[in-house]
């Protein structure tokens, strides 16, 4: 698992980029939350007596974009870092595919073990990617369907006899 000095520097950059991206995303999200969802990034603050007031905040989407991009880049760097660690740990494990051709004791033991483990590894990575895609699609769907809550009105088709019992009968529109 001996890494060249250049690879060690690259790993250090990945780790630093991950930490910086995660800190940036968390700090910006926390700051936006402390301003009740308003984005102070590139906003205008004015002095009101002895206190500052955010008079013209930026669009909230600006903070969402910067925090989201920082978070995604941090995740990407973390995945690259984990991949480097994973590949450097299995770097010395070669000639495994030839080992499945060698007879085992007792006979029939470890039949096609390398092919089976290789297929399991590939399937696991594909499953991870698919789960991530499904998660992103669920978040996008949840965000697109999120509508402000509208209380039920008497004219709505969902109004029923159970509602009549609680708030009174529906008036006809004749």
Assigned token pair, 151: 């209380």
pTM assigned to the model: 0.53
Same domain, 112 and 78: no
Number of domains in the chain: 2
Please report, for residues 120, 146, 153, 156, 159, the alpha-carbon distance to residue 150 in angstroms, rounded to integers and kept in the order given: 49, 12, 9, 11, 13
Residue 106 preceded by cis peptide, ω within 30: yes
Same domain, 102 and 76: no
pLDDT by residue, tens only, the chain of 174 residues: 566 788 888 888 989 999 999 999 999 999 999 999 899 988 899 998 899 999 999 999 899 999 999 999 999 889 888 888 777 766 655 576 777 777 777 777 677 777 888 888 888 888 888 998 998 888 888 877 766 666 656 666 665 655 555 556 655 554
Q: Which single residue is written with the structure tokens 């080992």?
A: 99
The verdict on residue 28 lying in a domain is yes
Same domain, 54 and 109: no
Q: Which single residue is written with the structure tokens 């529109």?
A: 173
Same domain, 83 and 108: no
Same domain, 15 and 51: yes
Same domain, 21 and 88: yes
Cβ–Cβ < 8 Å for 53, 38: no
Same domain, 88 and 42: yes
The parent domain of residue 58 ranges over 10-93
């Amino acid at each position: 698992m001996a890494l060249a000095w250049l690879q060690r520097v690259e790993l250090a950059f990945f780790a630093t980029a991950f930490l910086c991206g995660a800190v940036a995303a968390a700090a910006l999200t926390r700051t936006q939350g402390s301003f009740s969802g308003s984005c102070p990034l590139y906003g205008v603050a004015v002095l009101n007596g002895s206190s500052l007031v955010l008079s013209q905040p930026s669009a909230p989407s600006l903070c969402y974009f910067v925090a989201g991009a920082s978070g995604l880049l941090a995740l990407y760097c973390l995945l690259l870092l984990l991949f480097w660690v994973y590949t450097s740990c299995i770097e010395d494990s070669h000639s495994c595919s030839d080992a499945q051709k060698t007879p085992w004791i007792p006979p029939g033991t470890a039949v096609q073990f390398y092919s089976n483990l290789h297929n399991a590894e590939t399937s696991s990575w594909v499953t991870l990617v698919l789960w991530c895609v499904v998660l992103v699609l669920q978040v996008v769907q949840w965000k697109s369907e999120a509508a402000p809550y509208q209380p039920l009105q008497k004219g709505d088709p969902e109004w029923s006899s159970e509602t009549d019992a609680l708030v009174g009968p529906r008036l006809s529109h004749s």
